[in-house]
Amino acid sequence: MPRRLLASALLALALALTGLLAVGHGQSLTGEYKIGVLEPLTGPLAFEGKRHLEGYEIMRDMINERGGVMGRKLVFAVGDATDPTAAASEANRLITREGVKILTGTYSSTLCGAASEAAARHNVIYWESSCVDPRFTRRGLKTVFRTEIDGTGFGWYNIEFVAKHLAPRFGLKPNQLKIAFLSEDSSYGQGVTEAARQRAKGEFGMQEVAAEYYAFASTNDFTPIIVKLKQLNPDVVHHIARGNDAVLFWRQSREQSFLFKALVHAYGSPDFGKALGAEGNGPFALLEPGPGFRLEALRPEGQRLEREFRETVQKKTGSYPLGGHQLAAGGLWVLKVVLDQARTDELDKFRATVMAMDLPVGSLINGWGVKFAENGQNANERVQHYMLQWQGGQLVTVWPEEFSTLRAKWIPLGSWDQRK
């Protein structure tokens, strides 16, 4: 008898545990829901494309642990968008062969235009999480949506930081600042730079001393530009870099003892810190939040989501989330919220749900909020961005100050050997 009792007790315990586990897993998922993911996984953009895909995968698993999308398990069909032609043909393949109704991606501004046009021809939703080409949402397409700000938003934030944070710390009025613009010549670089130029001159009356574009993949020597800029003596250099060019320009500026008060270079890849260490101290980059980010500044639901996301990334990669992770994951989470509300991927209903969404800053991962415009673009002021600074080979969050525990250093930048 006691033995049978023991057995039933064990059985009861086992059942209870299974029940607990089931509760822990959220509701059970019935069936799968497949979306297409396009990223450059081979070729020159692969290093960032893979990071974005990793961000998508981490968020997909997190979503599936939290009820999936529309009660179904979220799965991916992945396409390799190595260049614009491949992006369009892979978009076609995912739509016609894999039967997806929603595509998401695509790290680079050179890719999202071609891929989303292919999707639009099939009336398939294109949910962009990271390309910033302003033209993406200016083509009158009803099928495109972008969770990240566009290039004009980057320019807007950069000049905001220069005029409202740097200028007072230099003891200058914004219209006394001399600013030089330097940028790689892709649609990304041009979009950001032109928006920044417009705001700097139009709104703050800053003095533009130069505006130079270069091809990032074939510029092997920045000395001629540096020699020219040195003579123009700018206070601030606004440099939109893309890869190797960020490191090369900085290193050669040091060689040429080119002095300026601050540099905003929009380059957030960890290789800058790895390549230069403390020699790279000083430049700013407008990004998603990094070390020093004050979670308490977010709303309670945003805090919880951000904390869980970081823990998952930490578990998977052993490090703090990188920009690619944050953009892809942040965008995919918004897609989940929309799909759960709309309960369909049918375009009109989906679109109506997106347009009706209204979440304040601090509600989501990265401290973002949501308010889409008719053209499918999430609003600049909702997609909160942060200024990070390279300090000792690391990027740390320094602005807006209410979101950070750390502060910007070396303002103005001293001579090259005094930035320790």
Partner 1 sequence: MDPARLLGPAQIDALAQLGVSTILLGGIYALIAVGLTLIFGIMRVVNFAHGEFLMLGMYLAFWSFTLYGLDPYFVLFVSIPLFFLVGLLTYALVMRGVITASHNAQIFTTVGLSTALQNVALVAWTGDFRFVRPWHSSVVLRIAGTAFNLAQVVAFAIAVALTVALFAFMKWTHTGRVMRATAQDRDAATLMGIATDRVYRLTWAIGIACVGAAGVLVAPLYSVYPTAGLQFVLLSYVVVVLGGLGDMVGALLGSLIVAAVEVVGSYFFGTAWKEVLYFVLFIAVLVFRPAGLFGQRGAEMLGA
For residues 254 and 419, which CB has a smaller minimum distance to partner 1 in the complex? 254
**HEC secondary structure over the chain:** CHHHHHHHHHHHHHHHHHHHHHHHCCCCCCCEEEEEEEECCCCCCHHHHHHHHHHHHHHHHHHHHCCCECCEEEEEEEEECCCHHHHHHHHHHHHHCCCCCEEEECCCHHHHHHHHHHHHHCCCEEEECCCCCHHHHCCCCCCEEECCCCHHHHHHHHHHHHHHHHHHHHCCCHHHCEEEEEEECCHHHHHHHHHHHHHHHHCCCCEEEEEEEECCCCCCCCHHHHHHHHHHCCCEEEEECCCHHHHHHHHHHHHCCCCCCEEECCCCCCHHHHHHHHHHCCCEEEECCCCCECHHHCCHHHHHHHHHHHHHHHHHHCCCCCHHHHHHHHHHHHHHHHHHHHCCCCHHHHHHHHHHCCECCCCCHHHCCECECCCCEECCCCCCCEEEEEECCEEEEEECHHHECCCCCCCCCCCHHHCC
Rg (CA), the chain: 23
Residues in binding contact with partner 1, number by CB under 8 A: 40
Give the contact letters, 43-72, x = binds to partner 1 (CB under 8 A), - = no: xx-xxxxx----------------------
Dihedral angle computed from the Cα positions of residues 352, 356, 362 and 367, in that order, rounded to the nearest 10 degrees: 20
Of 15 and 215, which has the nearer Cβ to partner 1? 215
CB of 46 to partner 1, least distance (A): 4
Residue with the two structure tokens 């130069």? 210
Which of residues 18, 27, 42, 175 is near partner 1 by CB under 8 A?
42
Distance CA 172, CA 177 (A): 7
Q: How far is the CB of 248 from partner 1 (least distance, A)?
A: 7
- Say whether residue 194 binds partner 1 (CB under 8 A): no
b/e for 331-352, b at 16 or more Cβ within 10 A?
bbbbbbbbbeebeebeeeebbe
CB closer to partner 1, 217 vs 356: 217
Residue among 203 and 255 whose Cβ is closer to partner 1 = 255
Nearer residue to partner 1 within complex by CB, 245 or 306: 245
Residues in CB range of 224: below 8 A, 6 or more apart: none
Residue with smaller CB distance to partner 1, 65 or 255: 255
16 or 217: CB nearest partner 1: 217
- Cβ closest to partner 1, residue 225 vs residue 406: 225
- Per-residue x/- mask for partner 1, residues 248 to 267, rule CB under 8 A? x--x--xxxx----------
410 in contact with partner 1 (CB under 8 A):
no
**Site stretch for partner 1 (CB under 8 A), options 41-49, 71-79, 352-360, 405-413:** 41-49
Q: Interaction with partner 1 in 368-397: which residues (CB under 8 A)? A: none
Residue 76, beta-bridge partner list: 35
CB of 243 to partner 1, least distance (A): 7
Q: Which is nearer to partner 1, 190 or 363 (CB)?
A: 190
Q: What's the longest Cα–Cα distance across the chain? A: 97
**What residues from 95 to 124 belong to the interface with partner 1 (CB under 8 A)?**
none
Q: How far is the CB of 313 from partner 1 (least distance, A)?
A: 17
Q: Which is nearer to partner 1, 12 or 232 (CB)?
A: 232
Q: How far is the CB of 209 from partner 1 (least distance, A)?
A: 10
Q: Interface residues for partner 1 in 205-234 (CB under 8 A)?
A: 212-215, 217-221, 223-225, 227-228, 230-232
**Binding range to partner 1, per CB under 8 A, among 21-29, 268-276, 362-370, 391-399:** 268-276
The single-letter code of the amino acid at 199 is R
Is residue 247 within the footprint of partner 1 (CB under 8 A)?
yes
Binding residues among 270-329 for partner 1 as defined by CB under 8 A: 271, 274-275, 279
Work out how close the CB of 393 gets to partner 1 at its nearest, in angstroms, rounded to a whole number. 12
Contact segment (CB under 8 A) with partner 1 among 196-204, 243-251, 298-306, 360-368 equals 243-251
CB of 54 to partner 1, least distance (A): 12
Does 185 engage in binding with partner 1 (CB under 8 A)? yes
Site for partner 1, rule CB under 8 A: 42-44, 46-50, 185, 212-215, 217-221, 223-225, 227-228, 230-232, 243-244, 247-248, 251, 254-257, 269, 271, 274-275, 279
